[in-house]
Amino acid sequence: MRCPKCTSIEDKVIDSRIGKEGSTIRRRRECLECGHRFTTTETHVRDGIVVLKRDGRREDFDRDKLVRAVRAACHKRPIDAEQITMLIEDVLDALEARFDSEIPSQAIGDAVMQRLRRIDQVAYVRFASVYKEFRDVGEFVDEISALAKPPEPPPSGET
């Protein structure tokens, strides 16, 4: 990153934070030449990832859907939004390196499970139990989201 003061490209990152909305990373940098400190914002753009489903269909990767699934699995666990964002970025980095632009849905689920397991056993088991039944990100997201919701109130007006 070029220093806005002296235009040197030598800098070090002092601090990294996830932006409020979870899709940007703010980095505090210090120029190694002149010591000037500045902040950069990076948005990780993931264009054109296609999920290859088990039945052979393809659909555009929906990041929000995956975030919701992981968040649901982490419901009431000591895992914050930043950890979830980091986990998903980490998963996508690894998968993009492995699969190019077409990623089997199973690989996404497996990669998330591996990482969740290291972070929190309960979240891992929740994610895994639902995921193993469905083996499909699209289907199991709906299912796991339902798990995290409070139970439906009993229907009223019927006796």
**Residues contributing to the site for Zn ion (CB under 5 A):** 3, 5-6, 8, 31, 33-34, 36
Least separation in angstroms between CB 9 and Zn ion = 9
11 versus 136: smaller Cβ distance to Zn ion: 11
Query: For residues 31 and 66, which CB has a smaller minimum distance to Zn ion in the complex?
Result: 31
Least Å distance between CB 8 and Zn ion? 5
In the complex, what is the shortest distance from the CB of residue 14 to Zn ion, in angstroms, rounded to a whole number?
Answer: 14
Whether 17 and 26 have beta carbons less than 8 Å apart is answered as yes
Of residues 55, 72, 60, 49, the one with CA closest to residue 106: 55
- 38 versus 99: smaller Cβ distance to Zn ion: 38
Exposure string of 20-52, with b = 16+ CB inside 10 Å and e = fewer, is: eebbebebebbbeeeeeeeeeeeeeeeeebebb
Least spacing, CB of residue 37 vs Zn ion, in Å: 9
Cα radius of gyration rounded to whole Å, the chain? 20
When the beta carbons of 35 and 48 are compared against Zn ion, the nearer one is: 35
Burial of 88 (0-12, 13-18, 19+ CB in 10 A): buried
Least Cβ distance, residue 13 to Zn ion (angstroms): 14
Nearer to Zn ion, 6 or 146 (CB): 6
For residue 136, the tally of other CB atoms under 10 A from its CB is 19
